[in-house]
Amino acid sequence: MKAPDFAYARPASLDAALALLAEHGEDAVPLAGGQSLVTALNMRLSAPGLLVDLNAIPELTGVSEAGGEAGGIVRIGAMTRHRDVGTAALVRERLPLLAAALPHIAHPAIRNRGTIGGSVALADPATEWPACCLAAGASIVVRGPGAERRVPADNFFQGLYTTALEPGEIVTAIEFPVPGADAVWGFEELSRRHGDYALVGLAATGRRSAGGLSDLRLAFFGVADRPVLARDAAAALEAGDLAGAQAALAGELDPPDDPTTKAATRLHLARVILGRVAARMRGGSAQEDGPDGV
């Protein structure tokens, strides 16, 4: 099957792109990396009248830092390729969670072409970047016909392929707070084959001190219609109760049930990777899975 006919525009500025989207309304679709959109076009799941290619807009790419050591942010342009996000020296130094997630994203061809903004805007619940945004407390920078605005990741992902984006808006950047010196992080993902969508994954951030872990943000993906912050599990883990944290997941996650992987299996795997990530964040063995380990 081939894509339906459509018009194509490649604006050289963000203002020009936004003007085209405003003019054509629902008949226009922005094109970022195209790794999901082109497939949808070819399967006739999407039939826009106009594709607005964002690849010629330089202000939408790149990684930069603003602010001082306290309260600083790392800003990643929406059109920055997956590979460039995960391999950027600034990201590896300031946001190692993102660097750890990169090898799990699909395959090299997709990592070389897909963009972080496209992934965040699509909001596939089984992908890595949305969960990393949620775990890191990032803000999604969006711009439309009106003024630019920043949406906390906690409020941005609203359901299956559903976000807080309003008509005519696009993601222009993601801003991550720079972690403090006592920050710790963890990332784990399980899939049938490397490069497949995650059966279950966990992106986590927090702080570690002599008293244990605190300020934990446990963002699970592949287990609901959006990435999910497991707040009860985090509270139990901060109290030093790994078994309680694993048990709490039953009330916080809503894993899908499909012919190949039952919901109970995904929930079990979520408990397993929570044990592994918790051990790493505490500074212990990566194989310390707790009572539900494998």
Evaluate the CA torsion angle 82, 86, 87, 89 in order and state its sign: positive
User: In the chain, which residues have pLDDT < 50?
Assistant: 69-70, 285-294
Q: What is the pLDDT of residue 47?
A: 79
Task: Mark whether 209 and 277 lie in a shared domain.
Answer: yes
**Helical H segments across 26-115, by residue range:** 37-42, 82-87, 89-94, 96-101, 108-113
Q: What is the pLDDT of residue 43?
A: 78
Contact (Cβ atoms closer than 8 angstroms) between residue 78 and residue 97 = no
Task: Mark whether 95 and 167 lie in a shared domain.
Answer: yes
**Distance (Å, rounded) from C-alpha 182 to C-alpha 98?**
18
Judge whether 14 lies within some domain. Answer: yes
Task: Mark whether 199 and 286 lie in a shared domain.
Answer: yes
Q: What is the pLDDT of residue 6?
A: 85
Minimal CA–CA distance to 126: which of 34, 50, 59, 224?
224
Task: Mark whether 284 and 187 lie in a shared domain.
Answer: yes
Task: Mark whether 73 and 156 lie in a shared domain.
Answer: yes
Q: What is the pLDDT of residue 143?
A: 97
**CATH number assigned to the domain comprising residue 165:** 3.30.465.10
Judge whether 32 lies within some domain. Answer: yes
Domain housing 136: 58-177
Task: Mark whether 214 and 233 lie in a shared domain.
Answer: yes
The residue whose two tokens read 């009106």 is 146
Judge whether 2 lies within some domain. Answer: no
267-280 residue pLDDT tens: 999 999 999 999 99
Q: What is the pLDDT of residue 46?
A: 80
Q: What is the pLDDT of residue 35?
A: 81
Contact (Cβ atoms closer than 8 angstroms) between residue 289 and residue 277 = no
**CATH number assigned to the domain comprising residue 224:** 3.30.390.50
Task: Mark whether 167 and 210 lie in a shared domain.
Answer: no
Judge whether 83 lies within some domain. Answer: yes
Task: Mark whether 46 and 122 lie in a shared domain.
Answer: no
Predicted TM-score of the model (pTM): 0.92
Judge whether 107 lies within some domain. Answer: yes
Judge whether 209 lies within some domain. Answer: yes
**Distance (Å, rounded) from C-alpha 178 to C-alpha 162?**
27
Task: Mark whether 115 and 192 lie in a shared domain.
Answer: no
Using alpha carbons, list the distances in angstroms from residue 261 to 105, 204, 257, 267: 20, 24, 6, 10
Judge whether 147 lies within some domain. Answer: yes
According to DSSP, residue 146 is labeled S
Task: Mark whether 127 and 75 lie in a shared domain.
Answer: yes
What domain count does the chain have? Answer: 3
Minimal CA–CA distance to 138: which of 123, 151, 124?
151
**Helical H segments across 106-206, by residue range:** 108-113, 116-122, 128-136, 153-156
Task: Mark whether 87 and 190 lie in a shared domain.
Answer: no
**Distance (Å, rounded) from C-alpha 168 to C-alpha 24?**
9
Task: Mark whether 85 and 134 lie in a shared domain.
Answer: yes
**Distance (Å, rounded) from C-alpha 241 to C-alpha 213?**
11
**CATH number assigned to the domain comprising residue 18:** 3.30.43.10
